[in-house]
Amino acid sequence: MSNMRQLRFREALREAMTEEMDRDERVFLMGEEVGHYQGAYKVTEGMLDRFGSGRVLDTPIAESGFAGIGIGAAMMGLRPIVEFMTWNFSAVAFDQILNNASKVRQMSGGQFNCPIVFRGPNGSAKQVGSQHSTSMEHFYATIPGLKVVAPAFPADAKGLMKAAIRDDNPVVFIESETLYSVKGDVPDNQDAIEFGRAQVVRDGTAATLVAYSRMTHVALEAAAHLAKEGIEVEVVDLRTLRPLDEETIVRSVQKTHRCVVVHEGWSYGGVGAEIADRVQRLAFDWLEAPILRVAQLDVGMPYNAKLEQACIPQPDRVRDTVKRLVFRDG
């Protein structure tokens, strides 16, 4: 049995990258302030001293440029980890990710792989402004050729990061700035976690809550409140959005007969819409109520603290949504 250690989310990510760089000399890290400044969120702290400036590269503020350099390096056999200071800024590099990273393997007839990891904080934090608060995962989850990862717990962050670095395909690795300091048990020998395997993090029978990244914690908090009222809900943490473990979702809905999807992005065309479509196609005969979604309000993120919190899914919104399903009220 493995010994467990309490690690913060950022520490688990750092361990994964460090261990993979020790294991494979082809792996290197690049991005804004990843080296001398020790990382904007201290995820890469100490890595420059350990690996040197040849493998931990500080870049200019030019996301399209260093994303393109990383893609070229991956095509030539290296395994880059590219950090965006926030996934909002990846919009500047969207052409590189969409038209090069995701397509090069198919367009070259398999002559080129693109083993690259794009990682960084996603979604809102605390009053970082609208241009730093967009949940970008649904943009990338629509693109064939990309894998999209969104862990909620430190052990998953480490295991999934290891899997991402070893994968021969481009991986979009979604982190939440608000999770970086969250602690959790991580096995001493935590190895790679297979993509496309969701986990049930709370058992229940009244309804299924499907969530990922920070929203898994929101769903768990809502579930704890509901349990005090005698309503036991099941919480499914997706871990990866592409590939999506629809079997675990469907199996849970077959047990609970109700489904609420909780995600931080906008609802229109979002991850929740995709999950709702799959549930109604694959588990229609088991549903006893409509599939509902709890998402960010359909506006750009306000800077005002109270308005910001009003926009983001909160445990009370999740709780009220579940009660609407259970009691068919409204």
User: What pLDDT, in 10s, does the model give residues 186-227?
Assistant: 999 999 999 999 999 999 999 999 999 999 999 999 999 999
Distance, CA of 111 to CA of 109 (rounded, Å): 6
Between 326 and 160, the higher pLDDT residue: 160
Q: Is a pLDDT exceeding 90 seen at residue 327?
A: no
- Catalytic pick from 11, 63, 137, 264? 63
CATH level 2 (architecture), domain 199-325: 3-Layer(aba) Sandwich (3.40)
**Is there a contact between 145 and 230 (Cβ–Cβ < 8 Å)?**
no
Tokens standing for residue 113: 């792989």
Q: What is the mean pLDDT of residues 122-133?
A: 86
Predicted pLDDT at 126: 84
Model confidence at 252, in pLDDT bands (50, 70, 90)? very high
Q: Cα torsion at 16, 43, 95, 214 (round to 10°)? A: 90
Distance, CA of 236 to CA of 248 (rounded, Å): 8
- Catalytic pick from 20, 32, 132, 217? 132
Q: Do 4-187 and 199-325 share a fold? A: yes
Q: Is a pLDDT exceeding 60 seen at residue 267?
A: yes
Neighbours of 274 (CB within 10 A): 19
Closest CA to 75 of 164, 169, 147: 169
What angle do the packed helices 214-228 and 315-327 form, to 10 degrees?
50
Helix extents (H) in the chain: 9-23, 47-51, 63-75, 94-96, 104-107, 137-141, 154-166, 214-228, 246-256, 271-282, 305-311, 315-327
pLDDT (tens digit per residue) in 303-323: 998 998 999 999 999 999 999
Distance, CA of 89 to CA of 64 (rounded, Å): 9
Closest CA to 263 of 222, 212, 300, 324: 212
225 is catalytic: no
Distance, CA of 320 to CA of 18 (rounded, Å): 43
Model confidence at 329, in pLDDT bands (50, 70, 90)? low
Helices (H) then strands (E): counts for the chain: 12, 14
Q: How much is the CA Rg of the chain, to the nearest whole Å?
A: 20
132 is catalytic: yes
Between 223 and 2, the higher pLDDT residue: 223
Delimit the domains of the chain by residue range. Answer: 4-187, 199-325
Rounded to 5 degrees, φ, ψ at 57 are -110, 120
Lowest mean pLDDT among 115-124, 144-153, 285-294, 300-309: 300-309
pTM score over 0.75: yes
Q: What is the CATH number of domain 4-187?
A: 3.40.50.970
Q: What is the mean pLDDT of residues 67-94?
A: 96
Q: What is the mean pLDDT of residues 41-47?
A: 95
Distance, CA of 207 to CA of 322 (rounded, Å): 7
Q: How many residues does the chain have?
A: 330
Predicted pLDDT at 21: 98
The enclosing H or E element of 303 equals none
pLDDT (tens digit per residue) in 86-117: 999 999 999 999 999 999 999 999 999 999 99
